[in-house]
Chains A and B, each alone.
Chain A
Amino acid sequence: MSREDVFQKVMEIIKPFVKNEDVFQQANESTNILQDLKVNSARLVDIILNFEDEFDVEVEDEDADSVNTVGDAVSLIMEKLAA
């Protein structure tokens, strides 16, 4: 799976949790999930668990500590898929 494919799927998963639709439309890998998209921090856990289901990977709490931006999420998933 290419990085672009992962990015598109990540955006699909994040979309239902986004409170700032305008920023979401312009989002790229440097967009901060909590601060720019205004996703509730408790919902970030739901998003990462959805990543687990969608990509069939397992994410530990400590792995999730590195996820601030959309690009961080994509990198984490790419890393897990390659493992």
Chain B
Amino acid sequence: MTGLSFGFRCGLVVQREVGRILGIIWIIPMAWLMEFFMKYRIKNVKDLRRRYRKLLSETRAPILICSNHLTMADSAVIAWALGGSWWYLFRYSRLPWNIPEYNNFSFLKFVGLGAWITKCIPVVRGGSREGVSRVIKKIDYLLRKGDTALIFAEAGRSRTGKVQIDNHAQAVGRILTTVPECQALCVYMRGDQQDTWSTVPKRGDSIYLDFEIFKPQSTFSGMRQSRDVAQQVVAHIADMESRYFAGRK
């Protein structure tokens, strides 16, 4: 796919390099904010990071992180849980790009600037199809260049608190079917105190996170293939959720 203009490609390179240069002043503080101010604890964090680094060392394929979605801080928590903070300073391409809802921060210009520095590509959900398509093309381009991206497999935070299989994000299927060799890294994350959706996880929460590589197969073509793949990904994350709750009993 790609089909991204030279101007947009240059814009992404500039965005990435400015973020990289400023990494020391935002990656570490964000990690400290989650660890020392919000007092989040990731369960089995050492094992999680060891597994994640091993996985990355074993594959050169593009990786699209596909996660469930319960809070607005999910992408930051997942990135921190998988890679820590210092590690990303030396492997900046592995710090995932993410796709926040533009309307969540558009009212404050400096927040928009912050989002730009922190590898965000805002999208207006329900906005013009051309705008949404451009965001997908940017992620497509970045994955082909060896960057990692994170996208929520559900179209919005789950209002039921459980993975909503019938509310899949079509973009997941579209990216996975167009980027050659792209792998879906399915992530399931949930704080012990996270009963339903919220703005951020509760302060002091102990957070469970697990990931699995998933390779969807589809016999369809066109949009049906994208939908099939997106549905398979969200169903796999729902399966991870079932195993999580079975393990808690």
Q: Which of B11-19, B125-133, B196-204 contacts A (4 or more CB under 8 A)?
A: B125-133
A67 CB-CB contact with B under 8 Å: yes
How far, in angstroms, from A46 to B238 measured CA to CA in the complex? 21
How far, in angstroms, from A67 to B223 measured CA to CA in the complex? 14
Give the nearest-CB partner of A61 in chain B: B174
Name B126's contact: one of A34, A45, A49, A58 (CB within 8 Å). Answer: A34
Point out the residues of chain B lying under 8 angstroms from A45, CB to CB: 170, 223, 226-227
How far, in angstroms, from A60 to B169 measured CA to CA in the complex? 16
Point out the residues of chain A lying under 8 angstroms from B227, CB to CB: 45, 49
Point out the residues of chain B lying under 8 angstroms from A61, CB to CB: 170, 174, 178, 222-223, 226
Point out the residues of chain B lying under 8 angstroms from A59, CB to CB: 222-223
A32-83 interface with B by 8 A CB criterion: 34-35, 40-42, 45, 48-49, 52, 58-62, 64-68
Contacts between chains A and B (CB distance < 8 A), count: 52
How far, in angstroms, from A65 to B3 measured CA to CA in the complex? 13
Contact (Cβ within 8 A) B167 A42: yes
Give the nearest-CB partner of B169 in chain A: A42
B158-203 interface with A by 8 A CB criterion: 167-170, 174, 178
| Given known A41-B155, A49-B223, contact A68–B168 (CB-CB < 8 A) | no
Give the nearest-CB partner of B168 in chain A: A42
Give the nearest-CB partner of A33 in chain B: B129
A-B contacts, 16 of them at CB < 8 A, read A34-B126, A35-B126, A40-B155, A42-B169, A45-B226, A45-B227, A48-B223, A49-B227, A52-B223, A52-B224, A58-B221, A59-B223, A64-B129, A64-B223, A65-B130, A68-B128
Point out the residues of chain B lying under 8 angstroms from A62, CB to CB: 1, 3, 133
A5-53 interface with B by 8 A CB criterion: 34-35, 40-42, 45, 48-49, 52
Interface residues in chain B, defined as those with a beta carbon under 8 Å from any beta carbon in chain A: 1, 3, 125-130, 132-133, 155, 167-170, 174, 178, 221-224, 226-227
Contact (Cβ within 8 A) A66 B130: yes
Other contacts beyond A40-B126, A41-B126: 15, CB < 8 A: A34-B127, A35-B126, A40-B155, A45-B170, A49-B223, A49-B227, A52-B223, A58-B222, A61-B222, A62-B3, A64-B223, A65-B129, A65-B133, A66-B129, A67-B129
Give the nearest-CB partner of A32 in chain B: B128
Give min CB distance, B69 to chain A, whole Å. 13
How far, in angstroms, from A34 to B130 measured CA to CA in the complex? 13
Give the nearest-CB partner of A38 in chain B: B126
How far, in angstroms, from A66 to B134 measured CA to CA in the complex? 12
How far, in angstroms, from A56 to B222 measured CA to CA in the complex? 13
| Given known A42-B168, A42-B169, contact A68–B129 (CB-CB < 8 A) | yes
Contact (Cβ within 8 A) B130 A49: no
How far, in angstroms, from A59 to B227 measured CA to CA in the complex? 12
